[in-house]
Amino acid sequence: MKKSRLVTGFLGLMALTTLTQCFTDKQNQGQKLYAQNCQSCHMDDGSGLRGLIPPIAKADYLQTHRDELACLIRHGADGPMIVNGIEYNKEMPGAHQLGPDEITNLLNYIQTSFGNNNPRYTLTEVTQMLEACPVPYEAH
């Protein structure tokens, strides 16, 4: 009986350690994904590139097109879009390699950084959006 308690305790400790590491590894994933996939065009402060690449910092587009952002990240955009009253028409490549969990973390980072204070996404919400994406996706 003492041996089974020891084994159970050890297994519980291992599970807790593994679970904790899972959450820790994902903690800054949105910021890392932004740096890897978005920062070279949208800049480290989210200001974009004047006249060519729209800003994501304090961007009205993040609120007015909330239901389209997961598709925009996955498939990119081709065509005009209006951000903060300015029209942009530069093609944006998609990040096809990102999974729904990564897109969720990336969106949540963008929605709560760069002066944005927008509602966060859930994984279920993003997964449903991605399943409904029109392909090829075009920004509106």
Cα–Cα distance measured from residue 117 to residue 101, given in angstroms and rounded to the nearest whole number: 21
* Residue 51 pLDDT greater than 70, yes or no: yes
pLDDT of residue 19: 46
- Write the Ramachandran bin of 19: left for phi over 0, alpha for psi from -120 to 50, otherwise beta: alpha
pLDDT of residue 17: 46
Q: What percent of the chain has pLDDT over 90?
A: 74
pLDDT of residue 134: 85
Domain coordinates in residue numbering, the chain: 28-131
Superfamily of domain 28-131, CATH level 4: Cytochrome c-like domain (1.10.760.10)
Spatial CA neighbour of 110 closest among 57, 67, 60: 57
Q: What is the mean pLDDT of the chain?
A: 86
